[in-house]
Structure 1
Amino acid sequence: MQQNRKVERRTILKAGGASVAALGLGATATACGGGSGAGDGTVTIRYAWWGAEDRAKRINETVKLFEKKYPKIKVKTDFQVYTDFWKKFNTQASGGNPPDVFQNAIGFLRKYDAKNVLLDLSEQVKAGNLSMDGFRAGLEKFGEIDGKLLGVPVGSNSMALVIDKPVYTKAGVKPEQGWTWDDFDAAMKKIRDKAGRAGDTGPYNVMYLYDLYLRQNGKAFFTEDGLGFTEADLKDWWTKAEKGVESGIYADQKKVAQIKPKSAVAAELSGGEFTWDNFTVRYSSEGKSEYGLAPIPTTDGKKTGQYLGSLMLSASKRTQHPKEVAQFIDFMVHDPEVAKIMGYDRGVPATQAQYDAYKPTDPVNKEIAAYEESLVAAGVLEPITPHPNGADVCEAAFLRLGEELGLGKRSVDDAVKQFFTESKTALSS
């Protein structure tokens, strides 16, 4: 798979909010939604997503399959890179004419539901046009908000520790399920001392890792209506990150910034870093070593705080063709042939039928599947923390301020204060 697509996908979840945080969506107009009908009963629906050229090619192949099965439904496709997608979507939604069906993520559900943009697909489930059966590991609940079905998962991923295997072997480090943060810190020192590089890229701005750490300690990054942690909590997290860089167990953040978009692991600045499991392919395309997935460290040796995340398909509340949109979503998440085309492009397939239909043969994707299976077998998966309206702005602030802190542009106290100021404004709007 191509490097640019993997970098793009990392941007989606790790840096996504930064580009859309400043984009406000005003009250949507009452104009009718997208899609059109023809005299012979044929209807056209609009489908939009973000991604790179490779994803677009795969999705267009699946659309052709859908149109063969449903010859009376034509699909007009549109894709953009992540930042451009949300700019265009905002403009369309503000004008009352968003695409009929579109790719979505958890951080945007409450935001666009509050703007009256998203269709509750529950009625289409009741009508038999969309099945929510056969999803893996409770993913059928992922897009439910306040009793409404606002998104249907297309794939799953979970946070993991991506490691340079030879480096870990040289340092004599063997991470196992249930290892603690104390074990992790000791391992980072071994890598620094025996392998001659930083043990980890550093957790400054990895919001979803901090969420897991909070969940391990009975808190969470988000609650349904705000932040689930205090300024003191964040100060502790960022202070530890700063000390880690000073001691050499975390990578020099200036060097990390210089080699972007290449990862610090592939650039041999660090022995590992926390990211989403399905991003592992990018490391093989960027670097020369052998890379693998390791478990998330724990506070008590048991609770990782993990959940399965997912990209989703959502529908416009203004679509003129809710039945056809539901049939399209149903096809995209259940049809086995779709999985064979898409592979793990958007994560491990969300439904069991698609999971069974696509069996990866390459070592990297086989390890991704095995990793998620291990999470299910270990019983560590929990429901995802709700994301309130404004979550995307909070994520953007966490990313930006974490980077500024790592580059020495802000003190810990200043970064913490600024984060809470921006987040409180975003969450109260």
Structure 2
Amino acid sequence: MKAMQKALALVAAGATVMSMAACGGSNDSSAASNKLTISWWGNQQRNDRTKQVNDMFSAANDGVSVDGQFSEFSDYWQKLSTNAAGKSLPDVMQMDMGYIQQYVDNGLLYDLSDFVKNGTIDLSDVDPNVAAAGQFDGKTYAVVNATNAPALIYDKTLLDGAGITVPDTMTVDDFISISKQVYEKTGVKTNIRYYEASEYMEYLLRADGKTLLEKGKLGVDSASDLEPYFQMYEQGIKEGWHLAPEVFADLKISSVEQDPLVYGTAADRMSWCTFKYSSQFGAYQKAATNGHELAMAAWPSDDVKKSNYVKPSQYWVISKTSKNPELAAKWINFYTNDVDANKILLTDRGLPISTKVLSAIKSDLSDADLAGLDFMENVVTPNSSTINPPSPAGSSEINSKVLPQIEESLCYGKIDAAAAAQQFFDEANDALAKAK
């Protein structure tokens, strides 16, 4: 938690340094080096595949070398923010929806508009709505690197054995009913995104036409709008079907391999499901070393069509201090449009945004990849609405500190759902107001 707070402070410090640097320098490509630094987060599979693409780009461009910088998600943002403060951001950075607005607002990103207009970054085979997701204040600061959607990944083998069927879409009551049945029949419990970010809370609010995080304040008028989210945890803990918080004490929350869906052997320390994204399905299926078949459904909501959305998996952005933004743009274009590169990447970050690339790699997709494609085409697309704008400044503190601490207090029985909702309402509003 303290590391994340420090990272947020460093982003602001980096903005000051950038502002000063802008007065005395430029990104003249004539003085650029032929070395690119590319940074990303993810699991080992993503690390290996991205490294192969970097090597392919170097081989296709004489004299160009690529320095890949890989981190775990929890470490990534502090490293990036430290680099911002030292005016040494990587040339190309993988960026998340929860952070990109802050980097745009602080002037840390290079405007890619000209590169898109002149075709250095070719988005001609990309859905205009997907391309527009990288635009802020009329400028293109980012290119979506893939698309995915919220996905409840679950242990189909376990549930088939218990005679339980999970529908593609379900209400919250349906989900709770299934969780109870799984616990009663198998002893395996449930994890409702414990100690993660606020996307599921936002998802539930979308069913009522409400937003969660807005610039300077929450998008709800009272804590009562937030209470149903916390009631799910409270009910699950009281009735025994939700994992106890002690289970997570020695687990790395961001690790696929340590997720209770695929990790552990004791039923009361395992979960029949995990609230993730469709791009992570292949990694979870690979991590299911017990040989169980996994499957996907939409996150539960009382109106899935209003709640659900197609999401930029992440973005690629170029730092304002890049010594060779044109070469960096060529790397993004290579990642986006090169068929051979995408035959290596496949759907690790999600579905490729180029329709031509997606068509060209279909025959190379694994069963898990094809399941992800089928899920996107047949479950998500007909049951989704326009995604909310990227999270505003202050959201990172909410997701890394405010919400996890409240969920922990709730699950340990220190507060009830009503108190949790009020505490979140007060502290989240305060964080957003201060950030504004």
Match of 1:245 among 218, 237, 247: 237
Higher deviation after alignment, 407-416 or 116-125? 407-416
Measure, in 1, the Cα distance between the counterparts of 2:273 and 2:259: 10
Contact 1:305-1:381 within 8 A present in 2 as well? yes
Q: Determine if the alignment matches structure 1 residue 82 to structure 2 residue 73.
A: yes
Q: Give the distance between the partners of 1:165 and 1:119, measured in 2 at CA.
A: 45
| 2:373 pairs with one of 369, 382, 407 | 369
2:223: which partner in 1? 231
Matched, 1:213 2:204: yes
SS in 1 for 2:6: coil
The TM-score normalised by the length of structure 1 is: 0.84
* AA of the residue aligned to 1:426: A
Q: Deviations over 1:138-179 (max 9, x none)?
A: 322222222222211112221111111133224433233443
Alignment of 1:28-47 (within 5 A): 28-29=17-18, 30-31=20-21, 32=25, 43-47=34-38
Matched with 1:6 is none
Q: In structure 2, what residue type is equivalent to 1:395?
A: N
Q: How many angstroms apart in 2 are the aligned matches of 1:51 and 1:193?
A: 35
Q: What residue is the counterpart of 2:432 in the other structure?
A: 427
Q: CA deviation at 1:242?
A: 0.6
- How far the C-alpha of 1:408 sits from its partner, in A, is 3.4
- Residue equivalent to 1:264: 260
Structure 2 counterpart of 1:201: 191
Alpha-carbon displacement from aligned partner over 1:288-326 (angstroms, at most 9, x marks no partner)? 222111233331464343232311110112334332222
Matched, 1:401 2:406: yes
Per the alignment, in what secondary structure is the counterpart of residue 313 of structure 1?
A: strand
How many angstroms apart in 2 are the aligned matches of 1:33 and 1:254? 52
1:240-285, Cα deviation, whole Å (9 max, x unpaired): 3211221133233323545655222234433223222222333542
For 1:33 and 1:245, the matched residues in 2 are separated by: 56
Structure 1 counterpart of 2:382, from 359, 371, 378: 378
Q: Supply the distance in 2 between the matched residues of 1:384 and 1:353 (Cα, whole angstroms).
A: 27
Matching residue of 1:13: none
2:395 counterpart residue number: 391
The 3 A distance-change label for structure 1 pair 236 and 81 is closer
Who is 2:331 aligned against?
Answer: 328
Give, as a single letter, the amino acid of the residue that structure 2 aligns with 1:110: Q
Between the aligned partners of 2:344 and 2:85, the Cα distance in structure 1 is 34
Matches of 1:97 and 1:166, distance apart in 2: 48
Equivalent residues in 2 for 1:254-333, closer than 5 Å: 254-257=246-249, 262-266=258-262, 267=264, 268=267, 269-280=270-281, 281-288=283-290, 289-300=292-303, 302-333=305-336
CA distance in 1, matches of 2:381, 2:184: 34
Contact 1:105-1:311 at 8 Å conserved across structures: yes
Task: Give 1:188 deviation, angstroms.
Answer: 2.4
CA shift in 2, pair 1:246/1:136, >3 Å: farther
Please give the secondary structure, in 1, of the residue aligned with 2:279: helix
Distance in 2 (CA, whole Å) between partners of 1:168 and 1:219 is: 33
1:372-410 per-position Cα deviation (integer Å, ceiling 9, x unaligned): 122455252422333112221111122333234223355
Shift of 1:213: 0.9
The number of equivalent residue pairs is: 410
* Other-structure match for 1:133: 124
TM-score (norm 2): 0.83
**Structure 1 position 286, deviation (Å):** 4.1
* Partner residue, 2:353: 350
Bigger Cα displacement from structure 2, 57-66 vs 386-395? 57-66
Choose 364-373 or 211-220, whichever is displaced more: 364-373
Q: Which residue of 2 aligns with 1:10?
A: none
Which whole-Å CA distance do the structure 2 matches of 1:295 and 1:52 have between them? 23
Unaligned 5+ runs, structure 1: 1-16
The CA deviation at 1:339 is 0.9
Higher mean C-alpha displacement, 306-315 vs 230-239: 230-239
Measured in 2, the distance between the counterparts of 1:86 and 1:126 equals 30
User: Take 2:61 and 2:105, find their aligned partners in 1: how far apart are those partners?
Assistant: 33
Contact 1:309 1:384 in 2 (8 A): no
Cα distance in 2, alignment partners of residues 362 and 127 from structure 1: 35
Residue identity matched to 2:6 = A
2: CA distance between counterparts of 1:189 and 1:411?
21
Separation in 1, partners of 2:425, 2:230: 14
The structure richer in helix per residue is: 2
Q: 1:168 to 1:159 in 2, by over 3 A?
A: same
* 3-state SS in 2 of match to 1:317: coil
Would the alpha carbon gap of residues 352 and 21 (structure 1) be closer, same or farther in structure 2, given more than 3 Å must change?
farther
Paired residues for 1:150-189 under 5 Å: 150-189=141-180
DSSP-derived class of the 2:38 partner: strand
8 Å CA contact 2:298, 2:380 repeated in 1: no
Give the secondary-structure state (helix, strand or coil) at the position aligned to 1:134: coil
